[in-house]
Amino acid sequence: MREKLKSLIKDLALNFGDFILASGERSNYYIDLRLISLHPEGLYLASSLLLGMLPEEVQAIGGMGLGAYPLVSGMLLMARERGKNLKGFLIRKEKKSHGRGRDVEGWLERGDRVALVEDVVTTGGSLMEAARRVEEKGGIIIKTLAILDRGGGDSLKAHYPFSSIFSIKEIIGGKNGQI
């Protein structure tokens, strides 16, 4: 499964050029993992592998932004098929200004043991913000996960347990993924 996912990433999501990343950094490559999480085989493979990385005590999975939303949904479906009862939630970038005015949608309760998921971790900032918001709601962060660690995993590990399916070096080679 891992090798199939790596091949899909290289074939469908890896782009070369001049890019500005969400972190504000410039890069000569961009890996658009939304093309993986919105692809039937890509979502299946990524969700299955991420689900296999969850500690047993996790009760709820969630994430923030377009990179996380399909992964959370895919993992919930796979967990259900495997007889594991997980709850899911999505964190909005900004609190809704209408309806119930929520910034976290779905099933997150005080005391829940939580795993947060993301597609790509560059600096770790998005997962750190998601973790802060979950903790404000009383969730307990057990694990943070990503498909790809582009370099921010080490900063995350200083605060929360972190694992990724791939490091950037595994996808594009070179020293720390620099080409």
| Residue 59 parent element (H or E) | none
> So what's the pLDDT on residue 122?
86
pLDDT per residue as tens digits for the range 94-117: 665 555 556 788 889 999 999 999
**pLDDT tens sequence across 44-79:** 999 999 999 999 999 999 998 888 999 999 999 999
Domains of the chain as residue ranges with CATH: 2-177 (3.40.50.2020)
**Cα–Cα distance, 58 to 13 (Å, whole number):** 30
Its pTM surpasses 0.85: yes
pLDDT value at residue 179: 46
The pLDDT of residue 131: 92
Q: What percent of the chain has pLDDT over 90?
A: 70
